Structure 1
């Protein structure tokens, strides 16, 4: 693909090839990836679960239209079966859904892709990796936790390039969708169809979802906002 993979447009890393995309482009890419996953989950005769959705596996054509690639870890499953049998975990650290590395969190299904997608969208918004993120130069904190805290306190997120109300609305939609997608309980994550519908809808009705259980062990996971439920 002419523009390579998405990761070089959202991670600086001191690379001379890094180029920040505008918010409209990032938003359209997020919608395009969601539509691609929706097709894999619902549009194919046999459902395909990718298991490795991350910026490195999203290629961009000359118009920055995203293409999902690298199906080496993908698994086919009959449309009517929701739970997938796996031996061992598969995926990339930082994007793997909790149930994939520990069955105590629930059964493995297409909702595992939803988790990967949510982590990737938060990475797109923040322009940084989701693990071992340095905050204020003094400590490291899980990036989704950092975002959630700022939303709870209604604080300015200060993301690069947000300069108008439309860009702010797009960024907020991406953040809230991302947080809903990474709910610890797979049943509380939205389907990709619901994700597409929400991204293309109005941001006014969106509510901040519960903080996933992994971030706060003292709280039990509760139901995500009904605006994003399957």
Structure 2
């Protein structure tokens, strides 16, 4: 854009100077002495004014004005076109940026909601798992002692499988939690003689602590998205 304006200024300056030079009358001054042996005649200074003779020189001011007008119109059109293109590019960039921001916010909202739903589902499943395991303790106080067909067994196994589906065992925190679930199942399959209430309570505490660690990790991810 600056280059176009510079060319415009140089063009106008050139034609202005050129037209002024051609408007000046060109003068030729001759000084000469012609000496004749019989009739000496002294020819004094003679000034001859030479007028522009060609059509081009006589009409140069009009031609220059016409060319300047045409050049100005063309340059103005070029400038207007460049400005319009620049405005279109800037507007398109603003639209694309707005789209990206909106899409990012939408994805963030969806991801946050999904993680919140996951946390709620995980928390409820852990609570159910612990409740079912307490009912299934192999001792005389258990209402379903030795009854492997009882619906509580089915719910316990279903909840364990659900928790395993909610976690990724390839990650350290989830792998530890998965091992605690298996430990609970193993101790519940023991006989009354081999069952240890202290070990059972320790496994239950491990499951609670591990589940809290996993929930805390998910909460940090939600905060990072907001």
Name the TM-score, length of structure 1 as normaliser.
0.25
Larger radius of gyration, structure 1 or 2? 2
- Which has more helix, going by share of residues? 2
Which structure carries more relative contact order (alpha carbon 8 Å, separation 6+)? 1
Name the TM-score, length of structure 2 as normaliser.
0.26
